Copies of this chain bind each other. A is one copy, B any other.
């Protein structure tokens, strides 16, 4: 494969949340994040078959507000933490700003999934859903 090859992501859905800015969002879902809605695009609805309330899922998002040029950060935005490569951290600022969110599926109504807890902000594109890592 050519080293300049790129790939195109097409969102399968979007997060609808009461969180509307990165500043108010917890760093991780387990740190007081709310539940949210995941609205699936009509063309992807078939791919939800056999997902059921209570399932532990990994929701994979695209941090559309990320700065993709950032290679090093102070973890958790705290200057007292030593500068670290972004691959050693969960920073949303990174070359390909993919987010991994372990959640529980609370309920499902057609193409609307109630999930949580999740720290992703309103409008965050969702690119994939998987069963939790074994």
CA distance in complex: A47, B19 (Å): 29
**A123 to B5 alpha-carbon distance, docked (Å):** 12
Number of interface residues of A (CB under 8 A): 53
Residue of B nearest to A57 (CB): B87
Instruction: Tell whether A109 is near chain B: CB-to-CB under 8 Å.
Output: no
How many copies of this kind of chain does the complex include?
Answer: 2
A46 to B69, CA, bound (A): 11
Q: Which residue of B lies closest to A132 (CB)?
A: B133
Q: Are B96 and A128 in contact (CB under 8 A)?
A: yes
Whether A44 touches B7, Cβ cut-off 8 Å, given contacts A49-B85, A102-B133, A133-B133, is no
A80 within 8 A of partner (CB): no
Residues of B within 8 A of A71 (CB): 44, 46-47
